[in-house]
Structure formats: C-alpha cells, structure tokens
A = this chain, B = another copy of it.
Amino acid sequence: MTTEEAAPARAGQCEDRPTGGGAAEQGYDVFAQVCPSRAVFAELADKWSLLILMSLAACGPQRFSELQRGIGGVSRKMLTQSLRNLERSGLLLRTVYPETPPRVVYDLLPLGRELAELVTPLGRWTEHRADRMLAARGEFDAAHAAHAGE
C-alpha cells in the first residue's frame, strides 16, 4: 500500500476524469465540484471539525466548555457551528441535560468514530513532522528572501 499510486482507474482522476462517472460505482467523487460527497468533504475538512473529532476520540464524551478549553483558540461561534455540522451529518450525538446550570454533552456516533480513527493519525503525523515542515519553511523563506534581495 506504500507505492500504489498506479492504481487502475482512480476515481475522477487522470484520464478517467469525467465528473460523475468516476470509478466509484455510486458516482461519488470528491474531486467533482458538484458531487454531494464534495460538499460533505468540504464541511469536514476544516481544522475545527477535525480537532473536535480528535478530541472526542481521545477523551470520550465532553461538554461544550470542555471542548472549548481543550481545543485552544476555538471561538464559541465556530465551536457551535462545527458541532452542529457534525451532529447534522450523523457523526456525533448532542445530549442536553436540563439541569442548572445546563449541561450539554457531545459524543461520537459510530460514523464519527470511524472518521475520527482516520483523522487522529493525521494529527499525530502533524505533530511528529512539524519540525521537518518548519525547517522546510525556514529554507523556503530564506531562499525567497535571498532571491528578492539579489
């Protein structure tokens, strides 16, 4: 699985690019602008949604404020919005306990857990390779600055 980029008839790719008629039997193709799967992908592929999934996968059910504290820098607005989004797509469950003060707990549904298991390695990889990427940035910026200076 390491060097399998020469797969036969990739979905919506290469010579087989026609949108809607890709290799996927359902015709779903994230590369196609009008594909429903693209819309879903576009909503999931943002940092806050991914961090929420990772946080819930790592720590189990959490309250709104726990998530907010755990995910540094997220605003209430974006947290609410991303959570609603994930809830709407059936990835997580929102449970309200009508206590005082109110308590709302978010937990992954099976679908969300599946996704979280794909996303978590992404976060790990980022942490693991951050040094390398930062170094590359330094070189790139230096080369660029030198280029500009000459």
Contact = CB atoms under 8 A, between A and B. Distances in A.
B133 A90 contact: yes
A67 B97 CA distance: 48
Interface of A: 1-2, 5, 7, 10-14, 16-19, 22-24, 26, 28-38, 40-42, 44-47, 50-51, 54-55, 57-60, 62, 66, 69-73, 87-91, 111, 114-115, 117-137, 139-141
B72 A37 contact: no
B127 A28 contact: yes
B90 A135 contact: yes
A133 B10 CA distance: 23
Specify which of A71, A91, A126, A134 lies most central, judged by the most chain B CB atoms within 10 Å of its CB: A126
A93 to B, nearest CB: 11
Specify which of A11, A28, A57, A87 lies most central, judged by the most chain B CB atoms within 10 Å of its CB: A11
The 10 closest A-B pairs by CB, nearest first: A90-B136, A33-B72, A33-B73, A14-B59, A23-B127, A37-B130, A28-B127, A89-B133, A45-B47, A88-B140
B134 A11 contact: no
Contact of A126 (B37, B60, B133): B37
B58 A17 contact: yes
B89 A137 contact: yes
